[in-house]
């Protein structure tokens, strides 16, 4: 049985959800699932915008067949070739052998690399090329590195619909509610939208900025991403988030405390610092055990807050491995413009503070507060003044 929704009178969401997959890209936990969005336009010609992950292909094919009825499929627009969207291309073509594929040159190359037998049906498009399907005329806008180099977005000049590929997507499976104004996005979705963006596309901020610049020149009435809700109003809200994330500006003045702890002693220091901050009025605090929190959540929070406290034991004369993994991921994703405080712990040869400092200094536009702290095995009464000083320095640096 097909399971679809109208996006407009002649455009249908024909995607689906996966709530069984544990790890997106086999890395990122998706406890609330993910949607793979695909859209089908019924004009004089019929046009499918992207496909879906292999895992939901059966439902997807039923959806296409249900909407097309007796009609054939004329075109498939492939905006993005990552297999979570492109895996089902051949399955569609088996059923609709006359369908032509519209994509960029690089996308065609990726199809070949992934082993798809489609070269005889490719229509290559470049930046600014247009195509008419009857009533609807679309323009293709390249979006390299949002999130792969072949990516493009497609803008329907007739009704203002932007097929935005990975841009403006989010984790979380859809629950029947398709549109942004049918959910409480700021309450229920924003954290997972941020975790999706920062971990998947976070590295490519300048490329996202380039796309936002292009998007500002067109009159967008609706945004149809490949994951998560379709946006039909309140664009400023999400654009503002995207603007901040892609320029690495923090969303909020606040303190993210990430600690590694083997026996609770470094955690105790982190707790003391958190209390000191709260007593001094800085109550926008988020605190995580680096060993117990998947790094994708830490990355998301790091993009959110202005200040980050790193508290780590020394381990094999290095940074505690889960903390090292987190910092390296932060560096890989190009995070910038944060202020750090560093706490190290070591029972005989503390090294983690110096090593964390070196790593943070190798990143762009990072500030490290002077008041570093070394704990010798456990926090002592005489350390209290330094904890207060670090809290004061953090708060003062926010002014």
To the nearest whole angstrom, how small is the minimum distance from the Cβ of residue 382 to ligand FEO?
52
Nearer to ligand FEO, 171 or 259 (CB): 171
Encode burial over 151-190: b for 16+ CB neighbours within 10 A, e otherwise: bbbbbbebeebbbbbbbbbbbbbbeeebbbeebebeeebb
Q: State the Cα–Cα distance between residues 41 and 64, nearest whole angstrom.
A: 10
Q: State the Cα–Cα distance between residues 227 and 24, nearest whole angstrom.
A: 12
**How is residue 254 annotated by DSSP?**
E
Q: Which residue(s) pair with 59 in the sheet?
A: none
Task: Give the number of other CB atoms < 10 A from CB of residue 2.
Answer: 14
Q: In the complex, which residues of this chain contact ligand FEO (CB under 6 A)?
A: 80, 82, 84-85, 147, 166, 226-227
To the nearest whole angstrom, how small is the minimum distance from the Cβ of residue 228 to ligand FEO?
10
Task: Give the number of other CB atoms < 10 A from CB of residue 50.
Answer: 25
Nearer to ligand FEO, 107 or 226 (CB): 226
**How is residue 368 annotated by DSSP?**
E
To the nearest whole angstrom, how small is the minimum distance from the Cβ of residue 78 to ligand FEO?
12
Nearer to ligand FEO, 194 or 227 (CB): 227
To the nearest whole angstrom, how small is the minimum distance from the Cβ of residue 42 to ligand FEO?
25
Cα dihedral angle (8, 10, 11, 12), rounded to 10 degrees?
Answer: 100
Nearer to ligand FEO, 28 or 227 (CB): 227
To the nearest whole angstrom, how small is the minimum distance from the Cβ of residue 119 to ligand FEO?
23
Task: Answer whether 89's CB lies under 8 Å from 78's CB.
Answer: yes
Nearer to ligand FEO, 178 or 290 (CB): 178
To the nearest whole angstrom, how small is the minimum distance from the Cβ of residue 29 to ligand FEO?
16
To the nearest whole angstrom, how small is the minimum distance from the Cβ of residue 201 to ligand FEO?
8
Nearer to ligand FEO, 82 or 267 (CB): 82
Nearer to ligand FEO, 195 or 307 (CB): 195
Three-class DSSP category at 300: helix
Nearer to ligand FEO, 84 or 192 (CB): 84
Please write down the long-range contacts of 271-274, taking CB distance under 8 Å and 24 or more positions apart: 272/379, 272/384, 272/387, 273/309, 273/311, 273/341, 273/343, 273/387, 273/390, 273/391
To the nearest whole angstrom, how small is the minimum distance from the Cβ of residue 276 to ligand FEO?
42
- Sign of the C-alpha dihedral computed for residues 151, 205, 309 and 241 taken in this order: negative
Nearer to ligand FEO, 34 or 324 (CB): 34
To the nearest whole angstrom, how small is the minimum distance from the Cβ of residue 270 to ligand FEO?
35
Residue nearest to ligand FEO (CB): 82
Three-class DSSP category at 61: helix
Which alpha helices (DSSP H) does the chain contain, by range?
57-68, 83-86, 89-95, 105-113, 190-196, 205-215, 235-247, 265-279, 295-304, 321-332, 352-361, 384-397
């Amino acid at each position: 049985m097909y399971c679809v929704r109208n996006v407009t009178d002649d455009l249908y969401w024909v995607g689906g959800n996966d709530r069984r997959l544990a790890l997106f890209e086999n890395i990122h936990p998706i406890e609330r699932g993910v949607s793979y969005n695909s859209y089908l336009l019924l004009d004089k010609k019929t046009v499918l915008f992207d496909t879906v992950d292999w895992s939901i292909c059966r439902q997807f094919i039923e959806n296409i067949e249900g909407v097309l009825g007796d009609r054939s499929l004329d075109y498939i627009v492939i905006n993005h070739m990552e297999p979570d969207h492109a895996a089902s291309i051949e399955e569609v073509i088996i059923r609709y052998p006359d369908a032509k594929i519209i994509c960029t040159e690089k996308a065609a190359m990726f199809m070949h690399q992934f082993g798809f037998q489609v070269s005889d049906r490719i229509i290559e498009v470049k930046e600014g090329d247009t195509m008419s399907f009857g009533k609807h005329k679309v323009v293709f806008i390249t979006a390299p590195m949002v999130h792969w180099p072949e990516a493009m977005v497609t803008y329907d000049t007739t009704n203002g619909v932007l097929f935005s590929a990975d841009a403006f997507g989010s984790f979380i499976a859809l629950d029947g509610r398709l549109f942004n104004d049918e959910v409480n996005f700021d309450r229920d979705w924003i954290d997972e939208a941020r975790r999706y963006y920062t971990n998947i596309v976070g590295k490519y901020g300048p490329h996202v900025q380039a796309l936002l610049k292009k998007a500002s020149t067109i009159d967008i009435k609706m945004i149809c991403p490949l994951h998560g809700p379709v946006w039909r109003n309140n664009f400023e809200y999400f654009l503002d988030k995207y603007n901040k994330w892609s320029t690495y500006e923090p969303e909020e003045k606040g303190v993210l405390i990430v600690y590694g702890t083997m026996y609770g002693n470094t955690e105790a220091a982190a707790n003391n610092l958190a209390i000191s901050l709260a007593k001094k009025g800085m109550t926008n605090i988020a605190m995580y055990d680096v060993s117990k929190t998947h790094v994708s959540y830490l990355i998301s929070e790091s993009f959110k807050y202005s200040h980050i406290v790193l508290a780590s034991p020394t381990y094999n004369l290095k940074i505690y491995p889960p903390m090292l993994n987190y910092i390296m991921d932060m560096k890989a994703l190009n995070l910038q413009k944060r202020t750090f405080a560093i706490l190290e712990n070591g029972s005989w040869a503390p090294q983690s503070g110096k090593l964390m400092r070196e790593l943070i200094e190798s990143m762009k536009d990072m500030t490290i507060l002077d008041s570093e702290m070394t704990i010798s095995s456990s926090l002592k009464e005489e350390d209290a003044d330094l904890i207060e000083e670090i809290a004061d320095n953090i708060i003062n640096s926010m002014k």
